[in-house]
Every structure is written in structure tokens, then in C-alpha cells.
């Protein structure tokens, strides 16, 4: 789409419509030191190609994820992406595809969705999965709505170790629906003992993340038993990569499993792109949000695919609708599907094992440094949280300046009491040299 500028009158109308007096009101949260106070210094009389070259030179000073080692995580991960994935995603029949309402002309799209659903079921140990969702956060919110509708209850227990962004999404979805959210547990893996005083016959569901936002591995079986004893459901927000090593949530008693598919086949880019997944039991299939692709045969007995279930009000009687989810993120789910098809069970397990081993190697090298402590303690998969003797923001800035490494996420931006905490993620892409360089850079920061 070409950029077409606005006249001053149009700009004034736009600002008035959204309720602000001037453009500067829109950027009030940006520090003055970071605002441009004069026109961009472009030499007069330059040709188009010269101006383009000038900006390309400026771009080279920015962070390039292809060459800068990244230890960022927090829900979006930098895993290996086979080169064929991008090639298939950019084929016009997938890249420009619309909702596959007409099965006779959308068999390719429907087949890829069906394969995605199948892979999610195999990973999660569940009986049925939908065609993908917007992201893991909205999938978790839809899951608690499903639990409330299935049980007729309004009370949702939420592990404090859930991703804070997902917790905020729960509020956005749940409050207008009359749900009551009760935070349980702490930073460590959740235990049934921590549920004793809050889990009762009014509880619709317990929502827990596997692994947690801080990387801790949860023991889901005892939690499932505890919530089921009270007639509630266990909802698990699970990462697909560690599921190659951990027992599937469905095998441990989960009733609904949701998660994020970005990490397989899609690069981290400004916090996305995302494709949530949603899996459950056949008992709850009629409450499944979004759409479900099924396998069938045509009049000649040939294998084919169709949209089997859709639960939004546009497709069924409004009073029977269970969700207003209108679509699925199929292009991102396609990247997930192609990647898993190429990796297979062995390849995914190898990816998970290398991420696990390299994360533990880095943590073991960092632990002896003065003033550094991992919190929470206990088993972790690919990600861990460090408490530092200096502000995490300071450590991140120094490590990047000295070693050109993105050291992790400053958790002070998540909780005001976590100014000294750094969330570090290690995937199979990180080399021994990069891990050792990280340790030496951190050593200089804390010494």
C-alpha cells in the first residue's frame, strides 16, 4: 500500500476524533531525550538512490537478529527456522488465502489446518484441537470462558507464575463476563497445598503455565487431581518445544491445553507474529472456540477436508454461540506445521534437548559470579530468572555495549519490585562461544 500524506485539516479532524488536541499528546509517554527535535539531516539536492543509501547506512547501526546473539524470551523465542518454511509461507495460495468457507476451492488450506490440529493433539495429549487462535493470551482467556460455561461457575484460580501479559488479557476478557480471578501460588512451581484454602466447589478452573513465565517446570498431575476433586477443570498454557521432553499435559489430567505457536517456524519480530493453539477433550468439543477442520470423503470416496464446527454467532444461533473469535492465524500456524513436519519427533526432541542443555550450561557458569542468584530455584527448561547485584536495565545496556549481546528481559518493566531481575532464554541457536562471551560480559558488570 502506498503512503498518502494527510492535509493539516485532515490531521486536525483525526486528532479531534480520537480526543486529543495535538500530535505531541500521542507521544507524551516517550521521554524527551528520545524525541526528534529537528528535521532529519538529509543533504539538499540528493537523488533518490543517494537518500536511500543514506538510510540503509543508518539501518546497519540497528540491532539485526541475524547477527546479534539474542537471549530474549518471555513467550517469544528465537529458534531455528528451516529455509523452506518461508518459501512455503510466501506461496500465493497460502499468503493471500481467505477464510476457507468453500471447501471445494480451499482443500490446500484446509489440509494444512487439519495437519496443524493433528500435531497439536499429539504434542498436548488432547483429543481435539482447533484451527489456531490469535495468540496464547487470548487462547488462555477463551479457555477460562469455556471452563466457566462448562461448569456453571465463575471463580478462576490463576497461578501467579502465569505470563503477566496473559494475566492482563484475562482481566480484559473476564471482568465483563462476570468472572472472578484469584491469584494463587508464588514464583516457585505451584503445589496442591497452596490451593487448599482457595480451591472449593465454586471453582471453575485452575490456570497454570508450563513451563512458568520464569522458566520453572510444573508438576501437573497433583494439580489436576486437586481441582478435579472439586469438580473444576485444569487449564494449562503450555510451550510446544519443551513438550518434546515433558509428559504431555493431557496425560497428566489437563482438560484444556493452550499455548503459543510462534516459536516453531516464525521469527521473533516486535513481539510476534503469534498463533495460539487450543486443545481439549471430545467432551468439551462443542464449546471449542474458533473453527475446527474435519476429514471426510466426497461422493466418489476421495479424502477431503471441511469446516466441521464453528462456534461464533455468525455461523450458529446467537444464543448457542460460545465465542466471538472470528478467524485463525493460519499463515503463522502454517509455519508451525511445516517446521514440525520437517523436524519430526526426533528433530523437535533434539531442539528441546539442546535448548535445555545450553540453558543449564549458561546458568551454571553465571551462578558463581558475585551477587548473582537464580530465583525461583528448582527445575527449569530453557529460561531462567537471575537476581543481580545491579539493576537489570544497567546490566543489559552494558552487556550490549561491550559484547553486542541482547542479555535478556528487564523484569523491572513487568513488576516494580523486580528491578534487579533478568529473564534469560537460551535456544539451540546459541553457540558455546556466545554463551562464554555472555558470561565474561556479565562478570565485568557485577565485579
**Tell me, what CATH number does 369's domain have?**
3.90.1150.10
In a domain, 149, yes or no: yes
**Do 118 and 232 fall into the same domain?**
yes
Q: How many Å apart are CA 53 and CA 226, to the nearest integer?
A: 63
In a domain, 4, yes or no: no
Contact 337, 119 (CB under 8 A): yes
**Tell me, what CATH number does 172's domain have?**
3.40.640.10
In a domain, 310, yes or no: yes
pLDDT value at residue 1? 40
In a domain, 76, yes or no: no
**Do 167 and 265 fall into the same domain?**
yes
Enumerate residues 6+ apart whose C-beta is below 8 A from 370. Answer: 389, 446, 447
Expressed as residue numbers, the domain containing 261 is 83-339
- Overall size of the chain counted in residues: 447
**Do 180 and 208 fall into the same domain?**
yes
In a domain, 59, yes or no: no
Q: How many Å apart are CA 425 and CA 358, to the nearest integer?
A: 10
Domain end position, chosen among 320, 339, 358: 339
Domain end position, chosen among 318, 339, 360: 339
For residue 83, CA distances in Å to 80, 90, 226 come to: 9, 12, 45
**Do 100 and 170 fall into the same domain?**
yes
For helices 330-366 and 107-124, angle between their N-to-C axes, nearest 10 degrees: 30
**Do 307 and 390 fall into the same domain?**
no
pLDDT value at residue 271? 77
**HEC profile for the chain?**
CCCCCCCHHHHHHHHHHHCCCCHHHHHCCCCHHHCCCCCCCCCCCCCHHHHHHHHHHHHCCCCCCCCCCECCCCCCCCCCCCHHHHHHHCCHHHHCCCCCCCHHHCHHHHHHHHHHHHHHHHHHCCCEECCCECCHHHHHHHHHHHHHHHHCCCEEEEECCCCHHHHHHHHHHHHHHCCEEEEECCCCCCCHHHHCCCCCCCEEEEEEEECCCCCECCCHHHHHHHHHHCCCEEEEEECCCHHHCCCCHHHHCCCEEEEECCCCCCCCECCECCCEEEEECHHHHHHCCCEEEEEEECCCCCEEEEEEEECCCCCCCHHHCCCCCCCCCHHHHHHHHHHHHHHHHHHHHHHHHHHHHHHHHHHHHHCCCCCCEECCCCCECCEEEEECCCCHHHHHHHHHHHHCCECCEEHHHCCCCCCCEEEEECCCCCCHHHHHHHHHHHHHHHC
The total domain count for the chain is: 2
**Do 265 and 328 fall into the same domain?**
yes
Domain end position, chosen among 305, 339, 373: 339
341-346, long-range: CB within 8 Å, 24+ apart, which pairs? Answer: 341/115, 341/119, 342/82, 342/84, 342/85, 343/82, 345/244
In a domain, 70, yes or no: no
User: What grid cell was written down for 251?
Assistant: 496425560
Q: How many Å apart are CA 402 and CA 397, to the nearest integer?
A: 9
Q: What is the pLDDT along the chain (447 residues), one digit of tens a residue?
A: 456 788 999 999 999 999 999 988 998 889 888 888 888 888 888 888 888 888 877 777 777 666 789 999 999 999 999 999 999 999 988 888 877 888 888 899 999 999 999 999 999 999 999 999 999 999 999 999 999 999 999 999 999 999 999 999 999 999 888 999 999 999 999 999 999 999 999 999 999 999 999 999 999 999 999 999 999 999 999 999 999 999 999 999 999 999 999 999 999 887 778 999 999 999 999 899 988 999 999 889 999 999 888 766 555 666 667 777 777 889 999 999 999 999 999 999 999 999 999 999 999 999 999 999 999 999 999 999 999 999 999 999 999 988 999 999 999 999 999 999 999 999 999 999 999 999 999 999 998
Supply the pTM of this predicted model.
0.86
Instruction: Report CA torsion sign: 314, 315, 318, 320.
Output: negative
Q: How many Å apart are CA 139 and CA 237, to the nearest integer?
A: 9
**Do 364 and 265 fall into the same domain?**
no
**Do 332 and 349 fall into the same domain?**
no
Contact 276, 132 (CB under 8 A): yes
In a domain, 27, yes or no: no
**Do 416 and 280 fall into the same domain?**
no
Please give the span between the terminal C-alpha atoms of the chain, in angstroms, as a whole number: 52
Site of grid cell 468453500: 102
Is the link from the previous residue into 282 a cis peptide, with omega within 30 of 0? no
**Do 285 and 406 fall into the same domain?**
no
**Do 145 and 214 fall into the same domain?**
yes
Site of grid cell 498431575: 221
**Do 377 and 267 fall into the same domain?**
no
Q: How many Å apart are CA 245 and CA 348, to the nearest integer?
A: 9
Torsions phi, psi for 35 (to 5 deg): -95, 145
In a domain, 91, yes or no: yes
Amino acid at each position: 500500500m502506498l503512503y498518502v500524506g494527510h492535509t493539516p485539516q485532515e490531521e486536525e479532524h483525526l486528532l479531534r476524533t480520537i480526543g486529543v488536541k495535538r500530535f505531541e499528546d500521542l507521544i507524551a509517554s516517550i521521554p524527551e531525550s528520545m524525541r526528534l527535535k529537528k528535521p532529519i539531516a538529509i543533504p539538499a539536492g540528493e537523488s533518490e538512490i543517494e537518500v536511500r543509501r543514506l538510510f540503509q547506512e543508518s539501518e546497519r547501526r540497528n540491532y539485526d537478529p541475524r547477527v546479534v546473539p539474542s537471549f530474549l524470551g518471555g513467550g517469544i523465542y528465537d529458534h531455528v527456522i528451516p529455509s523452506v518454511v518461508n518459501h512455503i509461507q510466501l506461496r500465493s495460495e497460502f499468503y493471500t488465502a481467505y477464510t476457507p468457507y468453500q471447501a471445494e476451492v480451499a482443500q490446500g488450506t484446509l489440509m494444512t489446518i487439519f495437519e496443524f490440529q493433528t500435531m497439536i493433539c499429539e504434542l498436548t495429549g488432547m483429543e481435539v484441537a482447533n484451527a489456531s487462535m490469535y495468540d496464547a493470551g487470548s487462547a488462555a482467556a477463551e479457555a477460562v470462558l469455556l471452563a466457566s460455561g462448562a461448569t456453571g461457575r465463575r471463580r478462576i484460580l490463576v497461578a501467579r507464575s502465569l505470563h503477566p501479559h496473559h494475566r492482563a488479557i484475562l482481566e480484559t476478557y473476564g471482568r465483563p463476563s462476570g468472572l472472578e480471578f484469584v491469584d494463587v501460588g508464588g514464583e516457585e512451581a505451584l503445589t496442591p497445598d497452596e490451593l487448599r484454602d482457595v480451591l472449593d466447589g465454586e471453582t471453575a478452573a485452575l490456570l497454570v503455565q508450563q513451563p512458568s513465565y520464569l522458566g520453572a517446570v510444573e508438576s501437573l498431575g497433583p494439580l489436576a487431581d486437586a481441582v478435579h476433586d472439586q469438580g473444576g477443570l485444569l487449564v494449562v498454557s503450555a510451550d510446544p518445544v519443551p513438550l518434546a521432553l515433558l509428559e504431555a499435559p493431557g496425560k497428566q489430567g489437563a482438560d484444556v491445553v493452550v499455548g503459543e505457536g510462534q516459536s516453531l517456524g516464525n521469527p521473533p519480530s516486535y513481539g510476534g507474529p503469534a498463533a495460539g493453539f487450543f486443545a481439549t477433550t471430545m467432551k468439551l468439543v462443542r464449546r471449542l472456540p474458533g473453527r475446527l477442520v474435519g476429514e471426510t470423503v466426497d461422493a466418489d470416496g476421495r479424502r477431503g477436508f471441511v469446516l466441521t464446527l464453528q462456534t461464533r454467532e455468525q455461523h450458529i444461533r446467537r444464543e448457542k454461540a460460545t465465542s466471538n473469535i472470528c478467524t485463525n492465524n493460519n499463515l503463522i500456524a502454517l509455519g508451525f506445521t511445516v517446521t514440525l513436519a520437517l523436524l519430526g519427533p526426533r528433530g523437535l526432541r533434539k531442539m528441546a534437548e539442546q535448548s535445555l542443555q545450553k540453558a543449564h550450561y549458561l546458568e551454571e557458569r553465571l551462578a558463581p559470579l558475585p551477587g548473582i542468584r537464580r530465583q525461583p530455584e528448582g527445575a527449569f527448561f530453557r529460561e531462567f530468572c537471575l537476581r543481580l547485584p545491579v539493576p537489570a536495565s544497567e546490566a543489559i545496556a552494558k552487556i550490549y555495549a561491550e559484547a553486542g549481546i541482547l542479555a535478556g528481559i528487564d523484569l523491572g518493566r513487568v513488576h516494580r519490585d523486580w528491578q534487579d531481575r533478568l529473564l534469560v532464554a537460551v535456544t539451540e541457536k546459541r553457540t558455546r562461544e556466545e554463551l562464554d562471551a555472555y558470561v565474561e560480559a556479565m562478570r565485568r558488570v557485577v565485579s
